Amino acid sequence: MEHKGTKHLETEHLILRRFTLEDAEAMYENWAHDDEVTKFLSWPTHPNIEVTRYVLGDWVSHYSDDDFYQWAIVPKECDGKPVGSIGVVKVFNDISAVQIGYCLGRKWWHQGITSEALNTIIGFFFNEVGMERIEAIHDTRNPNSGGVMKKCGMKHEGTLRRAFKGNQGIGDSEMYSILKIER
């Protein structure tokens, strides 16, 4: 395994790139301030754009770290404006694994964008970084997120009972994973 950091990645429909401080307005407007988007997530809705600027500042400051992965999801038809994010929530160096998290603005739900982004990230981690395992979890009350994981070939491993604290309180989460040998 060799960490590569947040590299620019492209698909047929998407650009996955590093965030910049100039993305604050798009991030705030497109997803970070929306209670419906953050409903099943572990981070709170941003009450104002200053919080979004702070988060982006933190992310940008970590892009020099080879083991930091946080991409802006930018559909090619959106004039460079991000509509969501996808990145690593946890790194498990000892087993060459990562846990992925993602979020997408409500206007872009059910269009295959998150699946395309996740599938691209999976390929990047297996083929370029040398990861052996990629995992993701979702609140059981958000089955659409699990649908994204299944669509990308991830297998359901089980339900983690009362192991997730999100904006709906403490609840259960579903664990999915894919191994390099399965790809």
Q: Where are the domains of the chain?
A: 9-182
9-182: which CATH number, 2.60.40.1080, 3.50.50.60, 3.90.1150.10, 3.40.630.30? 3.40.630.30
> Would you state the pLDDT for residue 165?
95
> Would you state the pLDDT for residue 118?
98
Regions of the chain where pLDDT drops below 70: none
> Would you state the pLDDT for residue 73?
98
Average pLDDT, the chain: 97
Q: How far apart are CA 109 and CA 125, in angstroms?
A: 24
Q: Which of 104, 132, 107, 133 is nearest to 117 (CA)?
A: 104
> Would you state the pLDDT for residue 68?
98
> Would you state the pLDDT for residue 177?
98
